[in-house]
Amino acid sequence: MIPRTTEHGEPEPDAGGGGRLAFAEAGAAADLAAFLRRQLAWDRAAAARLTAGGDTAGTVAAVFTRPARFDVLAVRPGRLREPARLDLTVSAGELLEGIDEESEAVVLPEPVTGPAWAGVLPPRGGWRQLAEVAHDEARAAAAGAVAEFRERRERLADPDRTREALDALAEEIWSRTLPGTALPLRAVHAAQALGFLRSDAPATVLSSGAWLRLGTPLGSIAVRGSGVRGLSVTPL
């Protein structure tokens, strides 16, 4: 682990297990807690990968998770009071337990052996904006797809409402793209479910190499290539 530095440039202990990160903005700790609670509602054993800095000390930490129902990567950024350099995978539940909303800080739990997805993250840079999407348009797209899934599911006769049939229906709907973009609707659905579309600011669709990303002021949803298959059939 690479050590943190203070605002005076002095080295601090590693920001690994037992380390502490303090956020620069009011409400950041509460927002991170809400994000983790949504993640844990789908997967109580979820992991989270935290990064900051890279080759140079950074003032922004990123928390990556893989929401179980959506087969995408979610990214929740947070500005830090002091530069930090870290890269570790932890239990999302233990990370939530370490959040102190009053002090706008989090005590980092001990690292865990990460799942396979944690080894393949979106690139840090090289993102090119492809489109801008109004927040109400993005929310309407997600809501319309959820409504279609539910309506078509109810039209199926009981003998035909098999897991295989529902999986195929979900794959058909959520693999469609947001109009005017190459972004699959599963990314927009995930952004809505995780609370990333609460801002009135437009969302942006970006690309970097094989990755597509839906970026908002509250977080991002990234999809690699044609997206990961196997979306759960239970829309929110």
Instruction: Kindly state the percentage of the chain with pLDDT values over 90.
Output: 75
Under DSSP, the state recorded for 23 is B
Give me the residue spans of the domains in the chain: 3-119, 128-224
The model's pTM is: 0.84
Q: Which residues of 184-219 are buried (b: 16+ CB within 10 A; e: fewer)?
A: bbbbbbbbbbbbbbeeeebbbbbbeeebbbbbbebb
| Yes or no: domain 3-119 corresponds to CATH 1.10.3470 | no
Q: For residue 172, how many other CB atoms are within 10 A of its CB?
A: 12
Q: In one letter, which amino acid is 129?
A: Q
What is the per-residue pLDDT across 169-182, written as a single tens digit (0 to 9) for each? 999 999 999 999 99
CA-CA-CA-CA torsion for 120, 126, 128, 133, nearest 10 degrees? 50
Average pLDDT over residues 105-110: 96
Return the minimum-mean-pLDDT range out of 9-23, 155-169, 200-214: 9-23
Residue 127 pLDDT > 90: yes
**Beta-strand (E) ranges in the chain?**
3-5, 11-14, 20-22, 47-52, 58-65, 73-84, 86-91, 99-100, 105-107, 128-133, 203-208, 211-216, 219-224
Of 1, 126, 112, residue with least CA distance to 51: 1
What is the per-residue pLDDT across 155-174, written as a single tens digit (0 to 9) for each? 999 998 999 999 899 999 99
Render 29-47 in DSSP notation, one character per residue.
Answer: HHHHHHHHHHHHHH-TT-E
Return phi, psi of residue 147, to 5°: -65, -40
Q: Please give the pLDDT value at position 226.
A: 53
Under DSSP, the state recorded for 223 is E
> What count of Cα atoms within 13 Å lies in the side-chain half-sphere of residue 189?
29
Give the CA distances from residue 2 to residues 5, 31, 58, 71, 81, in Å, rounded to whole numbers and listed in that order.
10, 26, 12, 31, 18
